[in-house]
Amino acid sequence: MAVAKKDQERIIYSWMYGQQARKDGKERVVPAFWREHADAWLQGFDGEAIGAAITPISATMEAEVDESAVED
Q: What is the DSSP string of the chain?
A: ----HHHHHHHHHHHHHHHHHHHTT--S---GGGGGGHHHHHHHHHTPPSSSPPPPPPTTHHHHS-HHHH--
* pLDDT at residue 2, as a whole number: 60
Q: How far apart are CA 40 and CA 19, in angstroms?
A: 10
* pLDDT at residue 29, as a whole number: 92
Q: Which residues in the chain come in under a pLDDT of 70?
A: 1-3, 51-72
Q: pLDDT by residue (tens digit) across 33-45?
A: 889 989 988 998 8
What total of structural domains would you count in the chain? 1
Q: Give the predicted TM-score (pTM) of the model.
A: 0.62
* Structural domain that includes position 29: 17-70
* pLDDT at residue 65, as a whole number: 67
